[in-house]
Structure 1
Amino acid sequence: MRWFEKALKLSEAVSRLAIWIGGISVLGVTLLISAEVMLRKFFIVSTGGADEISGYVLAIGFSWALSYTALKRAHVRIDALYTRTPLQIRAYLDCLSIVSLAVFAVILSYFCLQVVLDTIELNARSNTTLGTPLWIPQVLWLMGLLLFSLTCILLSVLAVAALVRGDRMRVHELVGSRTADEELAAEMSGSFITPEDR
């Protein structure tokens, strides 16, 4: 299990870098769109392709954020019944949820890989003024999904191993729905990262 713990730490470091790059990219595209609006308004000129680039950046940024969000247990959950169940049952539900998410992520990544391979084979380009080779944004998009899949697999292995050992608190720390106290601590710190994660 030590190898999986180390791999999870590496995944967290890569995910943190990915979310920073994704966030800076979204900020950059916001500035690009603002410049486009100003140029159209005052100079009747267009940069051309701002809408296309923003679509790519949003899709890539979203996929790159998935892994970090999973690691910080920040995905939205409907947990009205979950919070009223005993910790032992919650541990089983948490393991079921992360294994299900890992299966979904792997299937999604597989089909996305097929899309990328088809795009490369067809040498497909966007039918816009930029004529972007579509494999470029698709590969970046796929990288985020593959990182998400790997992270979910690591979390699944570690959570199930903790459940087998009877360490229900470790299961909660890895994949459990965050408690109201954890949410409050995150809000107080101005981030969705709890103080213990810092």
Structure 2
Amino acid sequence: MKILFVSFEDSFERNIISYLSKFSEVQVSHFKDVMQFVGIPFNAVVFGPGPGHVEEYLVAVDFIEVLYKKKVPLIGICLGHQLILHTLFNGAVVKSDTPAHGKRVKLIDQYGSLVQRYNSWTVKLNESDDSSLVYDENGELAIYVSSRVLTMQFHPESVGTNCPNQYFQKIHSFIVHNDNDEIESKWTLQS
């Protein structure tokens, strides 16, 4: 298995790459250099966390559009979540009502999972497709899952997330199921 990790120069990305490396070869590319990877086959592309607003990363937006047309599974974490949902599903990236930098929030899922947020922005989706959505206790979109897209508006690798290994097992499962053209209908975790 081979994953491309798109770097936005975030201090947490090494931890994410470390988790991904447990089940896949990971190649890292700076966001400004991603278009050189258009013709190279990857099992998935992970768009990592980073500072700023999606409008500052237009080359990544172009890359997301190309990958989606090629049916490459896309995974987004924090900024990556915002970029993918903004690009593919016209998600509005707006100031969060509850900015959180290093704050734990509870997910509204069957387990009440605790995750660590580091963001001032949130995504508001105008329409829903065949996706599964999980919100946090503040009513902000925390997880988006559809047939070829998995995004999280939190840091699954963070010490403040109560079950990081399970999130990365789910990421691995998402990629494997995409290779087999099947996806779980529900995306939940045990706490």
Instruction: Say yes or no: TM over 0.5.
Output: no
TM-score computed with the length of structure 2 as normaliser: 0.24
More helix by share: 1
Structure whose alpha-carbon radius of gyration is higher: 1
More strand by share: 2
